[in-house]
Amino acid sequence: MRRSAALVLVILFACSSGPAPQQPQMEAPPPDRTESIPTPPVNPMALAHAKAKAEVARLRAAADANVMLANWGGPYDGVPPWDKVTVDGFAPAFTTGVALLAAEIDVIATNPEPPTFANTVAALEDAGRHEDRAETLFSVMTSNLNTPEVQAVDREWSPKLTAVYDAITFNDKLFARIAAVYAARDTGLTAEQKRLVELTHDRFVNKGAKLNAKQKAELGTINQQLATLFTEFGNKVLADENTWVVLDKPADLAGLPASLRASYKAAADERKLAGKSVVVNTRSSVDPFLTSSSRRDLRERVWRAFKKRGDNGDANDTKKLIARIVALRAERATLLGYATHAHWRMFNTMAVDPARAEALMLQVWPAAVARVKEEVADMQKVAKREGMKGAIEPWDYLYYAEKVRKAKYALDQDALKPYFELNNMVQASFWMAEQLYGLTFIEITGKVPVFHPEMRVWEVKDKATGAFRGLFYGDYFARAAKRSGAWASTYRGHETFTGKRLTTITSNNNNFVKGAPGEPVLISLDDAQTLFHEFGHALHSLLSEVNYPNLGSTPRDFVEYPSQVHEMWVLTRPVLDRFGLHYKTKKPMPQALINKVEAAKRFNQGYTTVEYLTSAILDMKLHTMKAESIDVDAFERETLAAIGAPKEVAMRHRLPQFNHLFTSDSYSAGYYSYLWSEVMDADTREAFREAGDVFHTPTADKMRKFILAPGNTTDRTEAYRQFRGRDPDVKALLEKRGFPVSK
């Protein structure tokens, strides 16, 4: 302001004409010395920081006005605004969201203050919330309502979003600050903060933060290409899953129980095929047919349709995509300094080294193969007696295994279904959570928005205190545009570090086949265990006590452990007495039937183990190979032959439809993790058996304290030792599957 006033005086005197009138003599004012004071040098970093903060303020106002980006309002600490979400709203939301995220990162990277945990690592935890909300909503859409319109947005934005996150990783100023905090991590930080710093630093390095500019450009190109290929792979498989085999005549239904006939008829009615039945090309529809149908020709037809997803030489064939994905992954691993993609992907897992994961799989493999030979011999005898010509084929396995089960154990899987009514099993999972962890579930369906009318919602509280813990969404039925399988999603995780406690919102998604209108939905024992499995993931989220969001994600080979162990409670007497009720008589499953299930629980473990291990072993071999190009069909065929895979058992997921591996990097070189987690799962079951009580409170309390609540705030190997007092014993896994245990 003072420089402006001096300028006005000069202008006034210059504009007056003639001699100035006489004025009373006054003491001359002191000279204005402003001009003589040197202007302080401009701090470019401070200017950039101020500019970034102004940009954040501008963009945040726009983001807060966008329903896809804005903080979730409403009850229960805010809920996803499904009633306002539109597909055409995602592109503008992403445009604003990524611009705001970039500005928020600039604020951190250009901060003129010395880097600290608070202004760098914690600030990074707090950045990108608006964009994260939009991406959360969109990820739910791509899994559950993946219409052509959603797919179009996905194709456009997947590579763009990948580029956005690469730009954050490649930001030299940002990483320099992270590295500075990392270097000083032993001073003034809590153990939790120190772990967050270490994980953040290592994640940036693993993703290329230390590469030079040329290498970063190459890596960015690879990542964007992969993002496009991942989307394309998922869409092609989904297209093949949205097909079905039509059962035209009553004879086509031979061997099927009434409940299954009703389900297949309902699926046909949904597809406007009046008077027919259809087997939809998803596992929840196919496996029951293969188990029950006495029509061998139709079993083969249904099996081939299912196993040939993505492998029909047509527009939906995925083999060229796989070859390109594998080549790009190998190129990226080399660029980042890793021997193979598997070494890169496993850097932060419990196994760490691909050789350790492969060693565990090969430890189990011989016993599984030997058991398959025994199972096939038993089935071949039955098939021969029934007049079947030729050897057992993959489409015969489930059908004749069921016959052997009935003969050996007098156990008919269809006799179990009347006791596994879907609503009862949902309530059973809630009761399990109450007994183990003191959680209560109160249905609030209709009180909050949902993305599909079939969805249900529950409020979750701590029984002892009444404290609100979060929301649980259930989406149980198959539909067009929904990917197959079962999964859990976390819409919002627990955190406290900003001073405000955020509560969990989590969901389970299944593909159960609906019955006829008004009829109960009866599910198999396997389906019931799947339901409890996914609910285990939900409990892991709901019981979280982490303070920082990025400590909520555990290593890939740990994350399946809490879900697998919760399958155990399905067949416990307390659960069955309350919820395993016959849908007609309302009587609990009789002990005689449970005894048969227990006697037969190791039955068919050869098939189950080989089916899984072939997929897991091929995943690891595919991602540790050094070949520059791959013939997918030849690789699959030759590798199966090399490991001696029984021809009667197909891979659970053949490569052309292996969504775990090729719709993201998430499970690539990581499908072994189910077995790795099962070692801990089996050993944990032993802990409850040793205690003599399936709801043993001290054991459950320790599981909550050390396994579920901490997330990744502590090393997970050490956490298991704290829970069990030692490392997990692989013998428990072998015994669980009924395989020989070496002395």
393 labelled catalytic: no
Hey, is 184 helix, strand or coil? Answer: coil
Report the C-alpha gap between 126 and 197 in whole angstroms: 14
What are the helix (H) ranges across 115-170? Answer: 123-126, 129-144, 148-169
Report the C-alpha gap between 45 and 51 in whole angstroms: 10
Q: Which token pair is 403? A: 């016959």
Closest among 714, 437, 691 to 558, alpha carbons compared: 714
Q: Which residues contact 455 (CB under 8 A, 6 or more apart)?
A: 445, 473, 474, 475
* DSSP single-letter state for residue 450: -
Q: Which residues contact 327 (CB under 8 A, 6 or more apart)?
A: 628, 629, 630
- Which of the following is catalytic: 104, 375, 459, 534? 534
Hey, is 459 helix, strand or coil? Answer: strand
Closest among 609, 619, 679, 648 to 367, alpha carbons compared: 609
Q: Where are the beta strands (DSSP E) in 248-318?
A: 277-280
DSSP result, 333-360: HHHTT-SSHHHHHTTTSSS-SHHHHHHH
Instruction: Give the DSSP H/E element, type plus range, for residue 505.
Output: strand 504-512
List residues bridging with 489 in a β-sheet. 507
Closest among 290, 229, 276, 361 to 659, alpha carbons compared: 229
Q: Look-up: residue for tokens 């983001």?
A: 63
Residue type, 615: S
On whether the CB atoms of residues 551 and 196 are closer than 8 A, the answer is: yes
Tell me the three-class secondary structure of 700-720, residue by residue: HHHHHHHHHCCCCCCCHHHHH
On whether the CB atoms of residues 671 and 619 are closer than 8 A, the answer is: yes
| 338: number of Cβ within 10 Å | 17
Report the C-alpha gap between 732 and 680 in whole angstroms: 9
Instruction: Give the DSSP H/E element, type plus range, for residue 320.
Output: helix 319-335
Report the C-alpha gap between 503 and 493 in whole angstroms: 6
Closest among 563, 398, 553, 543 to 486, alpha carbons compared: 563
User: Between the CA atoms of 536, 542, 544 and 548, what dihedral angle is there, to the nearest 10 degrees?
Assistant: 120
Separation of CA 71 from chain center:
23
Query: Pairing between strand 504-512 and 468-477?
Result: parallel
Rg of the chain over Cα atoms, rounded to whole angstroms, equals: 31
Tell me the three-class secondary structure of 1-48, residue by residue: CHHHHHHHHHHHHHHCCCCCCCCCCCCCCCCCCHHHCCCCCCCHHHHH
Helix axes 319-335, 213-241, angle to 10 degrees: 160
* DSSP single-letter state for residue 506: E
Q: Look-up: residue for tokens 């293969």?
A: 290
Residues identified as active-site: 534
